[in-house]
Structures are given as structure tokens and as C-alpha cells.
Amino acid sequence: MEVDRPAPGEELNTSEEVTVPRQAASVIVLRGGGAALEVLLVQRTPQARFMGGFWVFPGGAVDAHEGEGDAAHRLAAVRELEEEASISGVEPANLVKFSQWITPREIAIRFDTHFFLAPLPEGQEPAVDGVECVDLRWYAPADALEAHRRDELALVFPTIKHLEQFAEFPSADALIAHAAGREVGPVEPRVLIEGEVARVLLPGEPGYDD
């Protein structure tokens, strides 16, 4: 995938020292049950230094008091979901882990983000705080990708790749059932600079190991 310019906070690392990624967690909230599939996206405030103005899944960095390992990621995911989207009632143990993405080592600010799935709890309606996140929308995955292609929805690479996978599923229940049985391993893309264009490569793609 070619990128003509990085998102805010995704600038290339100009030093020889690789940044150690910070632990983070994100919740992909689903609705539709067995009949449909929609995902919740929130828009980060344009004033944010990192990902300002972009549409993302609710999430953020793990706080030190939340500990380490899987339990810490789950606690952070639930906390960020409530802070950014005002959704409560999700139990950390009930989150379904879907993926783990590590920011390319070529980027200055790096995160090791664990993504979880969760159905929207009954009776809950998301709302943004108006400070860290300024808007929200529900999208069928294919519709979000189409809006991005029309330059109506600013998305970053990991969000796009997740939506591409989700578009293959007919319902929220089908996606959760699939994720419950999958083995999750880390994905660390690479950034290859060709002139003024940056190409993002995934493991296994031509040029990744060069």
C-alpha cells in the first residue's frame, strides 16, 4: 500500500536508534448480532499530536498501574472504551482478542497494540467526550472502505487492513465466532521509501525482508 504522507505522529524516525514500542490496546465494538455487521469508529480531535483528525477504533496506551501482559491489555482496552466512547459494561475477560499490530520500526512513535472484539452491550449508546474524540460513526466495513476511497473518511493502515478482513463476514456473530478460535501473533509492517512515496509492506510481501 502506498502512502503519500504520514498521519500526524507517524513521521519517520530520523535517528539510528529504534524506538521501543509502547504497549497499547483497542476495542473494536460490533453491532448487528446474527443479522448484520457494523463497527464503531471514533474521530480523534484534529488538535491531537498523534493521529489528529483520523478515524480509529477506541483505544490507547496501557497505564503503568494496569500491570503487564494480557490482563493489562484487557484492562486498558475497557478503560479506553469508556473514556473515548462512553461504553461501559464490557468485562475484560469477555473481550475476544483479534490481532496484535506493532508500529513499523521506521516510525518515530511506536505502539504494540492488541486489538479486541466486543459486541455493543445491551442498553449502551456510544458518545464521544468532545475533547480527545470529537465524532463517531457506525459503518459496515465495506462502506467505511468505500468512504475512505472517496476521501470522505481518513483512515490509517492498520484500520484499513482490519476493515478489509471484517468485510468478509456477514454478521457480528460470525466475526466473533471466527476470532474466538484463531491464534493471534504479532504483525509488524515495514515502511519502504521510494522517492517521495512510502510503501507499507506486510510480512510475506515482496520486499519485506530486503
Per-residue model confidence as pLDDT tens digits over 139-172: 999 999 999 999 999 999 999 999 999 999 999 9
Please answer whether residues 103 and 109 qualify as being in contact, where contact means their C-beta atoms are separated by less than 8 angstroms: yes
Amino acid at 43: Q
Return d(Cα 31, Cα 110) in angstroms, integer: 30
DSSP code of residue 131:
S
Tell me the pLDDT tens digit for each residue of 49-64: 878 899 999 999 999 9
Give the model's pLDDT for residue 5. Answer: 46
Please answer whether residues 103 and 186 qualify as being in contact, where contact means their C-beta atoms are separated by less than 8 angstroms: no
Cβ-Cβ contacts under 8 Å for 168 (sequence gap 6 or more): none
Return d(Cα 192, Cα 208) in angstroms, integer: 8
pTM value is 0.91
Return d(Cα 165, Cα 86) in angstroms, integer: 26
Return d(Cα 64, Cα 157) in angstroms, integer: 27
**Residue 194 — pLDDT band, cuts 50, 70, 90?**
confident
Cβ-Cβ contacts under 8 Å for 107 (sequence gap 6 or more): 6, 10, 11, 12, 13, 19, 191
